[in-house]
Amino acid sequence: INIYMQVLTANIQKRNQIDLYAFVFQTPSAVQKIKELLKDKPDHVGVKVGVRTRGCNGLSYTLEYTKSKGDSDEEVVQDGVRVFIEKKAQLTLLGTEMDYVEDKLSSEFVFNNPNIKGTCGCGESFNI
């Protein structure tokens, strides 16, 4: 019985560690910007993050409004903002920080992804 309890405890700890990193987390500026964008879209419940095969290095991020959670989507709620992660992108985005940055010439959502192995010269795409 002791061995069974140790194995069960170890499995629960592993599962909790995985759950802790199995999502995209947003910076306060990203949360604020998503809230602003959704104010004008009352029929949308959040934004969906995904990846698509594109660019010279393989993958590119997608971000779109969504009216509902897909069956396979991972849902992350942070400060009242709902972000859904497409199934295809879940492993790719593990532990990724989503930020919103503005400067004099541009404003954009930026993904700080610890899983990236390389990017193209223009920053349009990445590989894992």
The CA dihedral of 32, 69, 98, 120, to the nearest 10 degrees, is -140
In angstroms, the CA 59 to CA 91 distance is 13
Domain architecture of the chain: domains with CATH: 43-122 (2.60.300.12)
For 120, counting Cβ atoms within 10 Å of its Cβ (0-12 exposed, 13-18 middle, 19+ buried), the class is middle
Q: What is the pLDDT of residue 81?
A: 92
* Global pTM exceeds 0.75: no
Q: What is the pLDDT of residue 78?
A: 87
Profile the chain (128 residues) by mean pLDDT over runs of 10 residues.
Answer: 42 40 74 94 93 71 91 90 89 85 88 69 53
In angstroms, the CA 83 to CA 76 distance is 5
Q: What is the pLDDT of residue 119?
A: 59
Q: What is the pLDDT of residue 67?
A: 95
